[in-house]
Amino acid sequence: MQQVFRGEIVSLRGTMTLAEIKRLITKGESETLELKKSTGQIKRAAETLCAFLNGKGGRVIVGVTPDRKITGQQVSDKTQQDIAAIFRRFEPPAAIETIYLSLPDSERKLIVFEAKFDQSVYPFSFDGRPYQRLGSTTSIMPQERYQQLLIARMHDRHRWENMTAVDENISGLDQEEILRTVRIGISTGRLYRNRPGQTLEMFLTVLASVLMAKF
């Protein structure tokens, strides 16, 4: 197995077998599977991988005819260079596993690309366009939807509660404000005491222990 990470191919051992791939092919194309005859369709394959990255993840298997016959293809150094080059056209850089599986009694190989969904990174675009998967069809994602996902990604990365309070320590916290906020949270049902009879001070001790990773 080899893995493409940030547009570069890196060696990686894998356990996917020809029998497993045959089982996938038997099911036909779906929301998470696309079949391609050769890397002559690598651009279309990359568009679908972009859609998988923006959806539930999925695999593109190269070396399979439209009627699901496994033919494989010759894989040269140039083939691998072409694959690495086209994967550099993802934004942001995408981690896509690439498996080269030799066919029995043949110099031809199946190529399996696997894209895994990562909520912390998506949405992705390829050649400047975002793609989505609807059933077994890949299409360009509507611009409005893409913009919504970009804003959500930016918000998740820059939320104040995810930022480090530089040069601050616990002595600088406003105890009365903390108590007031916790009381409001409990009264509105947004915070819950874990044990009957638990006092506010006990609750705060447990909360502080969790935040400080002391148990």
pLDDT tens digits, residue range 34-45?
A: 999 999 999 999
CATH class of 2-157: alpha beta
| Mean residue pLDDT across the chain | 82
Domain ranges in the chain are 2-157, 173-211
pLDDT in tens, 199-208: 666 666 666 6
Q: At what angle do helices 200-211 and 175-187 cross, to 10 degrees?
A: 100
- pLDDT above 90 (res 63): yes
* Per-residue pLDDT, 7: 40
DSSP 142: P
DSSP 129: B
pLDDT in tens, 2-18: 444 344 333 333 457 88
Dig out the tokens for 49 from the structure: 């991988």
Average pLDDT for 71-97 = 94
Cα angle 176-182-185, degrees, rounded to a multiple of 5: 145
